[in-house]
Chains A and B, each alone.
Chain A
Amino acid sequence: NAGVTQTPKFQVLKTGQSMTLQCAQDMNHEYMSWYRQDPGMGLRLIHYSVGAGITDQGEVPNGYNVSRSTTEDFPLRLLSAAPSQTSVYFCASSYSQGVYGYTFGSGTRLTVV
């Protein structure tokens, strides 16, 4: 039981490049979400999914795309990276929309130059 696995752990991109941050969970959780955390700030919700085939926007969705083709995986795509997207990204999953708590991954530290 690995919990929530995020890859890669670190990434440097050039402005305008695209990439996909991977998130996988093996707990059969219906709910998955992506947050970003900027220095000295709390987490902000980017996108979330309540089940396979269903996604929705969070607080800061611009510049990001998601899809949920399986229960296990919830990748986050950066369409055209910008320096403002330099951040630490966390994926989280939960049973029953977090009523019993969320499990977070260890994060992906992204730098856009």
Chain B
Amino acid sequence: DAKTTQPTSMDCAEGRAANLPCNHSTISGNEYVYWYRQIHSQGPQYIIHGLKNNETNEMASLIITEDRKSSTLILPHATLRDTAVYYCIVRVGSVAAGNKLTFGGGTRVLVKP
């Protein structure tokens, strides 16, 4: 699986959009970008994933650059409950990928009132 680079931490104002960057310059053509988050003391929570097109669901939007070497997770209206560590993970999105998720350091997001 390709390696990812994320900022260690970032602050965000409540009610504003939070833009979380992730670099994955060695991503392969068959690798997807996944985002998870972990709220303190809880299990990780799946947020969204994408291959090359931008994706949106009820939690967030995922913007992937045309060369696929970086992506941005957007939380459109951050709330205090969005305070968490956010993980960007790149892996092959097929049953041949195996069962392993490789979690790096992630970005610690603090949403402030």
Interface of A with B (CB < 8 Å)?
4, 31, 33, 35, 42-43, 45, 48-50, 56, 58-59, 88, 90, 92, 94, 96-107
Contacts and interface: CB of A to CB of B under 8 A. Distances in A.
B61 to A, nearest CB: 16
Interface residues on B, range: 20 to 34
Interface of B: 32, 34, 36, 41-46, 49, 87, 91, 93-95, 97-106
A59 to B, nearest CB: 7
29 contacts: A31-B99, A42-B103, A42-B104, A42-B105, A43-B44, A43-B101, A43-B103, A45-B101, A48-B100, A50-B99, A56-B99, A58-B99, A90-B43, A90-B44, A92-B43, A94-B99, A97-B94, A97-B97, A98-B91, A98-B97, A98-B99, A99-B32, A99-B94, A101-B46, A101-B49, A104-B45, A106-B42, A106-B43, A107-B42
Contact of A104 (B34, B43, B104): B43
A42 B98 CA distance: 18
A43 B94 CA distance: 21
Contact of B99 (A33, A42, A100, A107): A33
A107 B100 contact: no
Contacts of B97: 97-99
Point out which of B43, B44, B94, B100 has the most chain A C-beta atoms below 10 A from its C-beta. B43
Contacts of B91: 98
